[in-house]
Structure 1
Amino acid sequence: MFRKSLRVKIVTTFIIIVHISLFLSFGISLLITEREVTIEKPFLAIAQDVASLLAITEPERRDQVIDILSDYNIHGEMIQEENELPFSLTEEEAAPLFQSGISEPLFLNTEEGPVRFIGVPNIDNTGNSMILKVDFTGFLKVMHRILLIVLFSVLVIGSLLILLVSHYIVEPVKKLTSAAKEMAKGNLSFRLKHRRKDEIGELMDSFNHMASEIQKVDKMREDFVSNVSHEIQSPITSIRGFTRAIRDGVIPVEHQKEHLDIIYQETLRLSKLSDHLLRLASLDSENHPFHPVEYRLDEQLRRIILVTEPLWIKKNLDIELDLLACRVMVDRDLFEHVWQNLITNAIKYSGDNNRIVVQMENTGLAVLVHIMDTGRGIPKEDLPYVFDRFYMVDKARSRSGGGNGLGLSIVKKIIELHGCKIDVKSEEWKGTCFTVSIPL
């Protein structure tokens, strides 16, 4: 667990990166420092300044000046051409110093490094020349030591700071882990509290949003199970009660047919409920057979009107069609279910002698199908829930008519599966209008 800890990984990664950075920085600093002290121009300027200083100094006090310069790692010797060469210089190296026509300082050793030998010819017009040994070895050692101390201090301080900062980074991750464990235990109301405005804060907000959505889904699941149980239990109770009454002879023979008709209707209701549940489960799984084909939408609507003719003739309804010749690319069987459900609902909730209008409208981008009735309408407070599963505006009337509150849910699911839209407008006691929009 220690090796897998996020905090350990953060600290380790930081230290590795810092080590690499310090190593590269130290190497670059060495190169820059050595390069700076081996540039020829500053050396020559030093030699010229020393020569100028000695030129204005009395001959008997020049040795004192040279001793003072040695404190700064600048060693000098006054020589003439016939003298022995100092600093182990060879005659070949010192030869350029005594050439005629040379008046400016010049290097006597050609290799670059922290130790350079510079010759200054004829500094006082008496034939005296000077050889300077400029040694920056000690200076470089001090600079390297300071650089190492600074870099090591950066490493130690940075490591301590990352230990503190890693706690700030890892702590919210631990909170997320604890929250996930709480949700795994079934505590879906658990929420994370924070004041962060960074990416971690966004992650916590996303977690809270996910928890809210899961809680809603769980509530819908509970409601779904409860509604299904109720919808199944109600017809089963009726069937069990009437069959027992017939079996025990409680119901006279002459009345048994009436009760057998009720039992038959309840079995149909159960069959319809199971069919709707299976269809809804198939649509929810997104594995439902989906076969879009191109066909005439207006012909399909005319056929649905003809199929439902016994229903609207029974109520003496006036059916008005305003259709356009239009071809669409959708699953024909699924949309057959959509139109049958919407038109059947319009008939069911219309009073006798009312009017139903089926109208098509082509906007260029989509075809709109309006199914309007002049029935009792839907109360304003119920409109947002008409597509919810098992939601019924008039529960008593819906159940007596064989409804179970799943029809419009299936319709909406089919329409969304095709990337289409459905909208509903209604005014109580004036009628309802369902509008389906199918992109062209």
Structure 2
Amino acid sequence: MFKKSLRMQIVVSFIVIVLISLIISFGIGRLFSEKKVSIEEKFLSVTSDVATILRLIEPGTRDTVLDILTNYNVQGEVIQEGSPLPFSLTDDEVAPLLRTKATKPMFIDNSEGPNPVRLIGVPNIDHSGSSLILKMDFTVLLEIIQHTLIIGLLTVLFVGSLLILLASHYIVVPVKKLTKAAKQMATGNLAIRLQHNKKDEFGELMDSFNHMASELQKIDKMRDDFVSNVSHEIQSPITSIRGFTLAIKDGIIPPERHNEHLEIIYQETLRLSKLSEHLLRLASLDSEHHPYHPVKYRLDEQLRRVILVAEPLWTKKNLHVELVLIACSIKADHDLFEHVWQNLIHNAIKYSHEDNVIEVIMEVNDLAVHVHITNTGKEIPEGDLPYIFDRFYMVDKARSQSDGGNGLGLSIVKKIVELHCCTIDVKSSEGEGTCFTISIPL
């Protein structure tokens, strides 16, 4: 449960960080304090100051000063040679103090290191040969400091943990909202949206979630529409084929009209074949694993060849084709771009009236080559322009189906153009026809 709770992880992380910070700060503080002055030096310094005070006052008042020092856990005795020894000291321990002529303080016990209880002597504090012995016990003071530090640490941990626990609520609640919304989305509820008024990173995350939900909803609708359109496009020719074959089989259609209806069946099978080919090509392009083999070739020669191949179509309608081609080489997948030009030119022929003009014009500059394919037939309504590259979208559905169209050609063109990092634009106006422009970076 601990590993799964974000709030507990935040609180425990805070406690660990505080503990590590305090340990490091104590260590650094101790390091610097030891470098500056050791505890032994402090003991000696205090003892030297007390000895100086005792030198400056009358011998009769020394006991009063020593009694005052007991309030600070410092006990002291002034001794001479032969006098009783305080603090359970032995003659051997005091001998160095009484026999020296120096006046510097010295330790007269055998303790080493940062011991809070030490015995220190100062020889010859006056001209009578008296020596001072002090017993400094800082144990209580150190315990008070330690207790204060421990209480401060516990207070910091408690108050800090409480505050971070409250602050974690601000973090955990949005995460729980996102988790709940994600679970609902996983069940198929793509209409869910998160309401919030946050302006921070959590607000951006929720906005991104809402945007993702909107896009998924659009994709889901596109999928449903796609399935519906595919079903319709497949069902329509199958229905025709089944109806005509059954009519021929049952003798409803006279023998002299068999060829006519067999031709319709043949056209419907071609329509099914074309639809399946387009669907497979789109699926391959969508998978981003479509074979892509860019080579360098002459674009003007490719356009000229596509137009010559389509000559039976445009001569049948008595169309005039005007070419402005410039020698220019590009690096692209030859077969994919062949499909692009075939689709656009066949569309231009299909939607042109008899005796109209089709223009194929190339413009080349230092950055790109622009190919304009224009027909002067019926224009595309302005309201339809944003959707002409959508799958199964047909401006004139009845005419497109009668011509064998299924609304996938321009979708494939768009995919191929984007695969090559190129752009395609379309302009259409009454009296001027429709112009598709493909820009290919050089």
TM range (shorter): 0.7 to 0.9
C-alpha displacement of 1:389: 0.5
Distance across 2 between alignment mates of 1:33 and 1:158:
28
Unaligned runs of 5+ in 2: none
Distance across 2 between alignment mates of 1:52 and 1:22:
40
Give the corresponding residue for 1:65.
65
C-alpha displacement of 1:340: 0.2
Give the corresponding residue for 2:105.
106
**Structural mapping, 1:326-405, within 5 Å:** 326-405=328-407
Deviation >6 Å, runs of 4+: 26-37
Counterpart code for 1:61: T
Distance across 2 between alignment mates of 1:68 and 1:166:
54
Distance across 2 between alignment mates of 1:243 and 1:162:
78
* Alignment check: 8 A CA contact 2:80 2:98 kept: no
**TM-score scaled to structure 1, two decimals?**
0.87
Of 302, 305, 308, which aligns to 2:304? 302
C-alpha displacement of 1:49: 3.8
Change (3 A) 1:392 1:132: same
* Alignment check: 8 A CA contact 1:387 1:408 kept: yes
Distance across 2 between alignment mates of 1:32 and 1:75:
30
User: After the TM superposition, which of the residue ranges 358-367 and 10-19 deviates more from structure 2?
Assistant: 10-19
Unaligned runs of 5+ in 1: none
Instruction: For residues 327-378 of structure 1, give each alpha carbon's deviation from its aligned partner in whole angstroms, at most 9, with x where no partner exists.
Output: 2222211111111001111111122222222122222233222212222222
* Alignment check: 8 A CA contact 2:97 2:122 kept: no
Change (3 A) 1:429 1:396: farther
Instruction: For residues 188-224 of structure 1, give each alpha carbon's deviation from its aligned partner in whole angstroms, at most 9, with x where no partner exists.
Output: 1011223334433333322222211111110000111
* Alignment check: 8 A CA contact 1:293 1:331 kept: yes
Of 177, 188, 200, which aligns to 1:186? 188
Distance across 2 between alignment mates of 1:166 and 1:189:
29
**Structural mapping, 1:30-429, within 5 Å:** 38-39=38-39, 42-80=42-80, 83=83, 85-87=85-87, 88=89, 95=96, 99-100=100-101, 102-103=102-103, 105-109=104-108, 111-113=112-114, 114-429=116-431
Give the corresponding residue for 1:439.
441
Counterpart code for 2:392: F
Change (3 A) 1:327 1:286: same
C-alpha displacement of 1:270: 1.9
User: After the TM superposition, which of the residue ranges 408-417 and 35-44 deviates more from structure 2?
Assistant: 35-44
* Alignment check: 8 A CA contact 2:190 2:217 kept: yes
C-alpha displacement of 1:180: 1.8
* Alignment check: 8 A CA contact 2:322 2:357 kept: yes
* Alignment check: 8 A CA contact 1:334 1:414 kept: yes
* Alignment check: 8 A CA contact 1:380 1:428 kept: no
Distance across 1 between alignment mates of 2:337 and 2:137:
96
Change (3 A) 1:428 1:234: farther
Change (3 A) 1:69 1:35: farther
Instruction: For residues 306-345 of structure 1, give each alpha carbon's deviation from its aligned partner in whole angstroms, at most 9, with x where no partner exists.
Output: 0000111122222122222222222211111111001111
C-alpha displacement of 1:411: 0.7
Count the aligned residue pairs: 438
Instruction: For residues 94-151 of structure 1, give each alpha carbon's deviation from its aligned partner in whole angstroms, at most 9, with x where no partner exists.
Output: 6367644x45x43335844323444445445544342333321221111112222222
* Alignment check: 8 A CA contact 1:38 1:112 kept: no
Counterpart code for 2:425: D
* Alignment check: 8 A CA contact 1:192 1:208 kept: yes
Give aligned-pair identity as a percent.
67
Change (3 A) 1:165 1:308: same
User: After the TM superposition, which of the residue ranges 170-179 and 68-77 deviates more from structure 2?
Assistant: 170-179
* Alignment check: 8 A CA contact 1:81 1:98 kept: no
Counterpart code for 1:305: I
Distance across 1 between alignment mates of 2:113 and 2:294:
84
Counterpart code for 1:108: F
Change (3 A) 1:209 1:369: same
Instruction: For residues 13-58 of structure 1, give each alpha carbon's deviation from its aligned partner in whole angstroms, at most 9, with x where no partner exists.
Output: 5455555555666666777788888445544543344334434443
* Alignment check: 8 A CA contact 1:97 1:119 kept: no
* Alignment check: 8 A CA contact 2:106 2:122 kept: no
SS of residue paired to 2:394: coil
C-alpha displacement of 1:231: 1.7
Counterpart code for 2:299: L
Counterpart code for 1:95: P
SS of residue paired to 1:381: helix
